[in-house]
Amino acid sequence: MSRLKKLVLATHNPDKKKEMKAAFGRQGLIVLSLDNFPEVGEIEETGATLLENSLLKARTVHRITGLPAIADDTGLEVDALDGAPGVFSARFAGENATYADNVNKLLLVMVSVAENVRTARFRTVASFVDGDRELWTEGVIEGEITREARGAGGFGFDPIFEVTQTGKTFAEMTAKEKNKISHRGLALRKMRELLTNIFKE
């Protein structure tokens, strides 16, 4: 059990790190990130699915650090684009694309797509690896792609993803509002429940 008191977040992304720490920071755990392990470089996401990429990252970080690791992979699935960009969401506009590059490309690609067929969803798969077990959970939220960016918060595609249940983009929400309903928040809460049961064993 003592081995599970430390948890490594398998991401270099500072925005993801904030959301993940918000989910696990109050569990009586020492939550570390890859900032604490400079020997872990960028992990190439070679999987064909979100689950494969998520497990790949968690397994790699656990192998290098020897500590339990949690990773996630998230994709934006746009119906008019047959589910793209999906696993390529972070690289939609190229390997070194910025958030703005990806947003601008998606807006351009969808410029002629009618209002009633701009539906999309965010999907997150979170994985936990500790050497004894591998667990995974999923979170999904429905919405649609707006015609222009709205809001100053969030990151990634947040400014152009309007959440169906609120009528707001993620970028128009506070971090607390977003985490309460988001795909990543849902996946991480499910994972937190699983880990709580493990800690009690």
**Whether the Cβ atoms of residue 37 and residue 64 lie closer than 8 Å to each other:** yes
SS (H, E, C) the chain: CHHHHEEEECCCCHHHHHHHHHHHCCCCCEEEEHHHCCCCCCCCCCCCCHHHHHHHHHHHHHHHHCCCEEEEEEEEEEHHHCCCEECCHHHCCCCCCCHHHHHHHHHHHCCCCCHHHCEEEEEEEEEEECCCCEEEEEEEEEEEECCCCCCCCCCCCHHHEEECCCCCEHHHCCHHHHHHHCHHHHHHHHHHHHHHHHHHC
The active-site residue, picked from 15, 35, 72, 73, is 73
Is 73 a known active-site residue? yes
Judging by DSSP bridges, how do beta strands 85-86 and 69-78 pair with one another?
A: antiparallel
Active site residues: 73
